[in-house]
Amino acid sequence: MDIKTLIMSPPPPLPVFFTMFLTIYLLAHFIVFRNWTPKTRPEAASCLISLTHGTPAAILAGIAIFSDPKHHFASPNTHFQNSVLEYSIAYFIMDLIHYLTFYPTDVLFIGHHLATLFVFVTCRYVAFHGAYSVLILLVLAEVTSLLQNVWTLAGARKGDSEVARQVFDKMSVWFYGVYSVVRGVGAPLFVYRMVGFYASGVADSVVPRWLWVSWVCVVVAAISVSVLWVSNNWVELFRERGVRVENGKKVR
């Protein structure tokens, strides 16, 4: 490759995507949410980059999957599928930096991001196959992103904003319901199909057994934590509404 071709060629997607998420994060932290308290501003900035990633990633992943007529669990990654993987890798690196900076003791989220990055990075740069299964899991993980981030932002302001409190209260049941169905039903069913395919050994030549087993372990752990998290939220929701009913403040 001559120097002219090197200069004229487009930059690799991963650095471009990371720069985009970093720019959005800094704009959110110092401009968009500058009037929020120092305690809530980092969380809000994280939510904004999550909004930028979540729904677009789910849509792009769906397009990337179905634009490949030969897609299956062991199909080679297409260029578009690799770009979607890099888009998500860039987001998780940026959000991991956020957690290491502001919440270094939150080992659950830090561990989640590291494990997710392991799946995306190995699919993109090690196996070069299996994007179909990884992107389906990405869709299942991010399809609730919009609801979750709006719910999180409302929750961050519910203590000093009546509008935020009402949004949080009204969204909770819907968000928990959709989240429970996706993470508690849809994701386990897909993982069952995924394990059945890879366990047959037909893909061992392109997705090594140690790698797909690692993916499954990460995904099962993530699903388990998600189900536990939403279950605790359901319990807290019913407890709070039970207290309100007893106080004559039933939420309608």
pLDDT tens, residue by residue, 132-153: 999 999 999 999 999 999 998 9
Query: In whole numbers, what is the pLDDT of the chain averaged over residues?
Result: 89
141: exposed, middle or buried (Cβ count in 10 Å: 0-12, 13-18, 19+): buried
d(CA 105, CA 110): 9
Amino acid at 185: V
- What are the residues facing 129 on neighbouring strands? 76
Question: What's the confidence (pLDDT) of residue 156?
Answer: 84
Question: What's the confidence (pLDDT) of residue 59?
Answer: 95
Question: What's the confidence (pLDDT) of residue 142?
Answer: 94
Question: What's the confidence (pLDDT) of residue 39?
Answer: 87
Give pLDDT < 50 ranges for the chain.
1-4, 6-8, 251-252
Question: What's the confidence (pLDDT) of residue 81?
Answer: 94
Question: What's the confidence (pLDDT) of residue 6?
Answer: 39
Question: What's the confidence (pLDDT) of residue 105?
Answer: 94
For residues 135 and 73, the answer to whether their CB atoms sit within 8 Å is no
Question: What's the confidence (pLDDT) of residue 247?
Answer: 58
d(CA 196, CA 52): 34
d(CA 72, CA 81): 13
Write down the pTM of the prediction. Answer: 0.88
